[in-house]
Amino acid sequence: RATRGGEEVRGYAPSMGQIFLRRFQLVTQFRQSLEDGHVSVHYQPKISLPNRQVQGVEALVRWVHPEFGRLGPDEFVPAIEAAGLIGVLTSFVLEESLKRVRKWLDEGLRISAAVNLSVRNLADEDFPAKVQRELERFDIPPELLTFELTESGVMSDPQKALPILRELHSLGIELAVDDFGTGYSSLAYLRQLPVDQVKIDKSFVLGMGTDLGDLAVVRSIVELGHSLGLTVVAEGVEEDVARDQLEAMGCDVAQGYLISRPLPEDRLEAWLQARTA
């Protein structure tokens, strides 16, 4: 997209009325779209460094809307959250992901799946029990499931979120702090969370080749994460150089377009086969 002085130049600016109408349509049509198979999950592989083996995938939701076409999650997840429908979305993504992991286990592959949570999931006291039931239903070892959550999410209501996080963690599920380095992340607070992984926000990883400040941030998150005993994941790895730098710093896992874009199921299978052949 073209930009001018930081402002997006578009063909037209939608009016407030149009924005509200579209939001309203998205929210009211979501369940039907799920039933009609217009909502799906794409998977983006993550590789271990330095051996470059596929370690897991991140599940990223997609919606091909009959009228609006392809929608990115940034366009509809906030509306779904606000409408109180996030439980429906998360259940769908979780179930799809666990089916995948089951299929891989049956083929002799141990690949974990990471599912993004919203704060609202952490306000649901029954959430851990629901997750446990799903793990049992597909007979998945809990360590093959990771939940990614943003700090700002957890911190908006720690009283509610913390007990639920502890419960998920005690089930043996991995927890990752997403978009680390953005927002009001505090180091002290990272220690209090029952987390296993920290994901360096892609803005720093994308900038580290040209911006010494970004490079310094990435380096310090890797060190901080390791000193707290956490697995450090870098997202937004688009260039060889970035992967090599991350590898040299000791970063544990890399995810980004260099490795693969998020892929639909069938293309992911082909990608995995080509890679392990």
Q: Which of residues 132-151 bind Ca ion (CB under 5 A)?
A: 148
CA torsion 135-89-190-229 (nearest 10°) is 40
Which of 49/77 has CB closer to Ca ion?
77
Judged by beta carbon, residue 174 or residue 178, the one nearer ligand C2E is: 178
Residue 151 interacting entry, from ligand C2E, Ca ion, none, C-beta within 5 to 8 Å by type: none
> 49 vs 114, which CB is nearer to Ca ion?
114
SS3 68: coil
Count, in order, helices (H) and strands (E) of the chain: 11, 11
Give the shortest CB-234-to-Ca ion separation in angstroms: 10
Q: Where are the alpha helices (DSSP H) in the chain?
A: 16-35, 73-82, 86-106, 127-138, 151-156, 158-170, 187-192, 202-207, 212-227, 240-249, 265-276
> 179 Cβ partners below 8 Å, 6+ apart?
150, 151, 199, 201
Q: Which of residues 176-205 bind Ca ion (CB under 5 A)?
A: 178-179
Interaction between residue 174 and Ca ion (CB under 5 A) = no
Residue nearer to Ca ion on the CB measure, 96 or 148: 148
Residues in touch with ligand C2E (CB under 6 A): 44, 59-61, 72-74, 77, 89, 93, 116, 118, 148, 178-179, 202, 235-238, 256-257, 262
Q: Least CB distance from residue 9 to ligand C2E, whole Å?
A: 20
- Contact residues toward Ca ion (CB under 5 A) are 116, 148, 178-179
